[in-house]
Each structure stands twice: as structure tokens, then as C-alpha cells.
Structure 1
Amino acid sequence: MNFDQLKYFLTIVKTGSFSEAADEMFISQSSMSKQIKALEHELGIDLFKREHSKIYLTSAGKKFLDYAQNTIKDHNDIRLYLDEFVKKSSKTIRIRSIPVVSAYGVSERIAEFTTFYTSDVNVIIDMHESSQDDVQKELKENKIDLALIRTEFLENIDEFEVIPYLDDVFVLACSKNHPLSKNKEVSLKDAAQYPLSLLSPSSKLYTIVVKAMANQGLYVKPNCLTTRHKILLEIVQKSDSISILPDRLVDTKIFPNIITINLKEDLHSSVAWVRKKEQRVNAIAKEFWNYWKQYYNEEA
């Protein structure tokens, strides 16, 4: 029995498929099947029962699942603990973020960290942007070290440590030729009179705007939805449609024909760095967390 076999077993359980598990682990399906058969032979039990194209855990497999999960967790914890005592030429920080990195100055500060806050270590930043729900899932499953997300949507917040980053204030965005463009301030009721373009429902920004309008008794159906805020701004710049977005996402240098107008309602969202309490991370990830904590204290 080896750790690779345990990881293959857990991946099969997660995906419910030998082929999908093989793809995720970057090996051939035949190699994975041979590894699982070797494990079953060593244990003297069947871990899976196979019926047509579906697979199920046997009773013994269900018992073995607890063992495998605990063993892999202990293995990862030991490696992270001992990592502090081992000199390495490079270390990885696993980060996930909602799609705000370029607009919120995150990349500049990461560059500063890699330049000034490390000594003999090459920092590998494993960072991807995804939806709030996907980022939270990876955070809860210990697949990442920390995340940049909207805290009002974070479930069981007591399980996490939080470093506030910034407060997003929402504004109305429209073209300079739009009838609302002469106003210094508008209400959601004013906005509801015009075609509304929003980010897709997979974005929590959609949820914030739609909920705020519903609280005002305004039930509008957006005339356009898109997953990318820059596409959204292209639409707003060249049409009579409006949008409601965080002010920091509306770059008027890139979109010079767009103007932002303050909302009468207090519509905002809190963005923060978040990590699970008691989760072991390597030394460089700890240093990165402390860097952001120092930045927040200086800004506060």
C-alpha cells in the first residue's frame, strides 16, 4: 500500500468514475485500475462493486474510506509541519480569488511580496480566479491556503480567520450620452426605468444587486447577462443599457465613454482574505498571510 494508491482511491470515490479520476490524476485509466486491483489484492477485499458503467463502495470500501481520508490528511499535515525545518529553493502558495485581482491592486502587492518579503526562497504563486462558490468549496476542502472572497456570503464564518481588504461601494454605470448621465446621484428606482445589464447569476454581484432592488419592491429582468465585467462595460458604453457594479470594477480609462453615478442607497460588499483556522500551511504561506495582515493594519 502506498500514498498514490490511497489518492487514486479517494479520487475515484470523489468523481464516481475510474476514467474521470484517471484524468484528474494525470494517469491512464488502465494504470489506475491496476493500482486499485493491487491495493484490493493486498487488503484481501473488494473496495468497489461495479455495475455496468457505475461503481459503488462495498461495505469494506466504506470503512476503508475513513482510513484513507485520515491517512492522507495526516500525511499532508506532517509534511507541512516539517516544511518549516527544511530549506528549499522554492515554495508554493495556493491562492484562489473571485475575479477582482487585476482591478483591486492585488497583483501589484503580490509582486511586492515576492520581491521584498522573501530571502532565499523562490515563491511560486499558484493563483486562479473563480466564482465565490467554487473558491469557498476549495477553501473548505483544504485544497488552498487562502482565498480572496466576499465575506457576507461566507458560511460558518467562525471557522475562518479574516483579514479585511476593502469595502466595495456600488455605483451606476452608463454611457456619457445616457439620460441619467447628468445626475450626481440616482436611486435604484431611477435605474429600474432603463435596460439593465448585469454579471451572470453565478456572480455574487448579481445577487447583491437583484436583492437590493427586490428590497425596494423592484423586480426587474436584466436585458443582458455576461460572465465578464469588461464585456459588460463594452455593452454599457455602446448602448442605452445601464449597469450597477462596484466602483473599482469600472475603469473609465479603458472605457472613456462611461460615467459612474453614486447610488442613493447604501449598496456595498466586503472583500477579505480568508483562511481556515487550524489549517496547516507551509512557512511561506504563513509569511504571505502576515504580509496582508500588516498591510491591513497600516491601511486601517
Structure 2
Amino acid sequence: MNLNQLKYFLAIVKTGSFSNAADDMYISQSSMSKQIKALETELGVDLFKREHSKVYLTEIGAEFAKYAETTIKQHNEMLLYLDEFATKKSNTIRFGSIPVVSSYGISALIADFTNHYNPNLNVVIDMHENNQQRVMKELFEGTIDIALVRTDYLENIEAFDIMPYKKDIFVLVCNKNHPLTVKASISPTDIIPYPLSLLDTSSVINTIVRKAFEKYGVEKRAKCLTTRHKILMEILQTSNDITLLPYSLVDLHQFPHITTIPLTEEVTSNVALIKLKNRKLNKITKDFWNFWQKKPKPE
């Protein structure tokens, strides 16, 4: 038995289904089912009754839920208590982010905090930069305490404290010699004849772009999918492909052969700093959260 199994078990209790719990915990449904099956095998009891698509607690499962909730609560309280005595860890901010740190001024904000924080304390920034699915998984598992993510289509939103950081507007990105550059603005129907490259499905940007096409009744499949927006721009510099990206991610200095064109109807994405409401933070992470809250947000 491990803590993740208890968290998965409680997520199923809360949502009433394996699929919804898997979405909330950012793992696959098959992985969730395997973990619960392993837990039931170890305990020698059935925790759930499964009837078609619905899941119900057994009598022993309802009792086990009380112990699971107490265990998770005590574990979080223990970590917070120990943080006060572990110097390195209590001075550490465990921060996860989607790959926007250099594009959204995050590094400068972190530097500002460390420069003005207690001069007698060594601040440790333990930053994990990854796709949103992975960042959210780390947040739920406790590998990180706060995260910078896109809140569009964020599952289980009521579980988070959310501090908005930036509203980003999408643009079309293409080579400067592309036929579409003669247009002042672009609609989804203008894009149909041209090959589309996109960030892959682990990125919320992929979902936002697909929804934008669906709104116009346009079916547009990507020719190429990649995990990094800078790879997209490399592709566009020497091809006839196009993509849609938040404007802040487009580096026209590093990629001088590409350009951007506004969209006829605004497509946006919201980036925010988030933390779990039930997650207690060490002092330095609380101070960082409060510092971030007071800083002016980028346009």
C-alpha cells in the first residue's frame, strides 16, 4: 500500500467513477484500475462494487475511506512539520511550469524574489518544466507545491487556489514568404488549404486550437505534432506549414524568417499560478505566492 493508491482511492470516492478520478489525478484509467486492484488484493477485500459504469463503496470500503482520509491528512501535516526542521527543504520552493518560463518573464520574477528575500537565507528554487499533463500529475502527487499552467479546460477547478497571471492571444504563425501574409487577418477557413503543424495533445494549446476550428465547423488535422513550440518555429522557417500559437511564445528575434498574422476572431489562453487548496505550504513558498500576488501582471 502506498500514498498514491490512497489518493486514487479517495479520488474515486469523490467523483464516483474510475474515469473521472483518472482525469482529476492526470493518469490513465487503466493505470488507476491497476492501482486500485493491487490495493484490494493487498487488503484482501473489495473496496468498490462495480455496476456498469457506476462505482459504489462496499461496507468495508466506506470504513477504509475514513482511515485513508486521516492518513493523507496526517501525512501532509507531518511533511509541513518536518519542513520547519529540515533547513534545505524549508528553504526550497518546489515549482512546476509548462514550457513558458523564458517567454513569460518568469525567470526575472523569480530572480526579483530571491534578490529581495531574507539575505541570511539561501533560497532554493526546485523548478520542473514539462507539459501540462505531467506538471499537473506532479502537483497532485506532491512532487511540486505550486504550478504555472493554462487554466483553459482545467479539470476539477474547485480544488485549486488560482492566481491569474496572463491572458494570451493566439496568432497565426508562418514563413514570411507564405501566401497568407497578404491578408490583414486570418479566419479558420483561410487556413484549410495549408498544412498545419501543432503542439501535441499533451498541450492545452492543442485543445484550444481544435476547439477554435470546431466552432467554425472546420475539420483540420495536423500534418505534424511536436512537444515544443520552438520546434514548430524551426519547421515554419523553411516550409509552407502554418500553426496557431499564443503570441508571447513566438520569438521573432530568434526566428527572423517567420511572422505572425492576427486572427479575425479572438482566440485566447489564460495562464495562472495554482496550488491545491488542501496542500499546506512551507513558509518560503507561502511568501513566494504572496510576492507573486502583489507583482504587476504582464499585458
TM-score band, normalised by the shorter chain? 0.7 to 0.9
- Residue of structure 1 in register with 2:29 after alignment: none
Q: 1:178-189 maps to which residues of 2 (within 5 A)?
A: 178-189=178-189
Q: 1:231-250 maps to which residues of 2 (within 5 A)?
A: 231-250=231-250
Q: Would you say the 8 A contact 2:200–2:227 is kept in 1?
A: yes
In structure 2, the residue corresponding to 1:165 is in which secondary structure? Answer: strand
Partners of 1:186 and 1:60 in 2: how far apart?
Answer: 59
1:142 deviation in Å? Answer: 3.7
Aligned pair in 2 of structure 1 residues 12, 56: CA closer, same or farther (>3 Å)?
farther
Partners of 1:12 and 1:294 in 2: how far apart?
Answer: 34
1:163 deviation in Å? Answer: 0.9
In structure 1, the residue corresponding to 2:162 is in which secondary structure? Answer: strand
Partners of 1:72 and 1:277 in 2: how far apart?
Answer: 14
Aligned residue pairs: how many? 253
Q: Would you say the 8 A contact 1:89–1:120 is kept in 2?
A: no
Q: Would you say the 8 A contact 1:171–1:263 is kept in 2?
A: yes
Q: 1:157-196 maps to which residues of 2 (within 5 A)?
A: 157-196=157-196
Aligned pair in 2 of structure 1 residues 122, 244: CA closer, same or farther (>3 Å)?
same
Q: Would you say the 8 A contact 1:198–1:226 is kept in 2?
A: yes
In structure 2, the residue corresponding to 1:185 is in which secondary structure? Answer: coil
TM-score (norm 1): 0.75
Structure 1 spans left out of the alignment, 5+ residues: 1-8, 15-48
1:87 deviation in Å? Answer: 8.8
Structure with bigger gyration radius: 1
1:153 deviation in Å? Answer: 2.0
Identity %: 47
Give the aligned residue type for 1:171.
V
Give the aligned residue type for 1:59.
G
Which of 10, 13, 19 does residue 2 from structure 2 map onto? Answer: 10
1:197 deviation in Å? Answer: 0.9
Q: Would you say the 8 A contact 2:166–2:298 is kept in 1?
A: no
Q: Does 1:203 align with 2:203?
A: yes
Aligned pair in 2 of structure 1 residues 109, 219: CA closer, same or farther (>3 Å)?
same
1:180 deviation in Å? Answer: 1.1
Aligned pair in 2 of structure 1 residues 240, 75: CA closer, same or farther (>3 Å)?
closer
1:102-135 Cα shifts (integer Å, max 9, x gaps):
2111112111111112332211111112222222
Aligned pair in 2 of structure 1 residues 120, 181: CA closer, same or farther (>3 Å)?
same
- Residue of structure 2 in register with 1:32 after alignment: none
Aligned pair in 2 of structure 1 residues 79, 208: CA closer, same or farther (>3 Å)?
closer
1:12 deviation in Å? Answer: 9.2
TM-score (norm 2): 0.75
- Residue of structure 2 in register with 1:288 after alignment: 288
Aligned pair in 2 of structure 1 residues 79, 200: CA closer, same or farther (>3 Å)?
closer
Q: Would you say the 8 A contact 2:152–2:204 is kept in 1?
A: no
Q: Does 1:88 align with 2:87?
A: yes
Q: 1:74-113 maps to which residues of 2 (within 5 A)?
A: 74-81=74-81, 83=83, 88=87, 91-113=91-113
Aligned pair in 2 of structure 1 residues 88, 159: CA closer, same or farther (>3 Å)?
same
In structure 2, the residue corresponding to 1:56 is in which secondary structure? Answer: helix
Q: Would you say the 8 A contact 2:40–2:46 is kept in 1?
A: no
Q: 1:220-239 maps to which residues of 2 (within 5 A)?
A: 220-239=220-239
In structure 1, the residue corresponding to 2:155 is in which secondary structure? Answer: coil
- Residue of structure 2 in register with 1:271 after alignment: 271
Give the aligned residue type for 2:2.
L
In structure 1, the residue corresponding to 2:118 is in which secondary structure? Answer: coil
Structure 2 spans left out of the alignment, 5+ residues: 7-36, 48-59
Q: 1:59-70 maps to which residues of 2 (within 5 A)?
A: 59=44, 67=67, 70=70
1:232 deviation in Å? Answer: 0.8
Alignment RMSD (CA, Å): 2.9
Aligned pair in 2 of structure 1 residues 57, 87: CA closer, same or farther (>3 Å)?
closer
1:239 deviation in Å? Answer: 0.6
Q: Would you say the 8 A contact 2:4–2:141 is kept in 1?
A: no
Partners of 1:255 and 1:180 in 2: how far apart?
Answer: 18
Which deviates more from structure 2 when the two are superposed, residues 208-217 or residues 141-150? Answer: 141-150
Q: Would you say the 8 A contact 1:175–1:258 is kept in 2?
A: yes
- Residue of structure 1 in register with 2:145 after alignment: 145
Give the aligned residue type for 1:195.
P
Q: Would you say the 8 A contact 1:81–1:280 is kept in 2?
A: no
Partners of 1:79 and 1:221 in 2: how far apart?
Answer: 46
Aligned pair in 2 of structure 1 residues 55, 74: CA closer, same or farther (>3 Å)?
closer
- Residue of structure 2 in register with 1:58 after alignment: 43
Partners of 1:283 and 1:150 in 2: how far apart?
Answer: 26
Aligned pair in 2 of structure 1 residues 202, 87: CA closer, same or farther (>3 Å)?
closer
Q: Would you say the 8 A contact 1:151–1:272 is kept in 2?
A: yes
Partners of 1:75 and 1:219 in 2: how far apart?
Answer: 48
In structure 1, the residue corresponding to 2:109 is in which secondary structure? Answer: helix
1:13 deviation in Å? Answer: 5.5
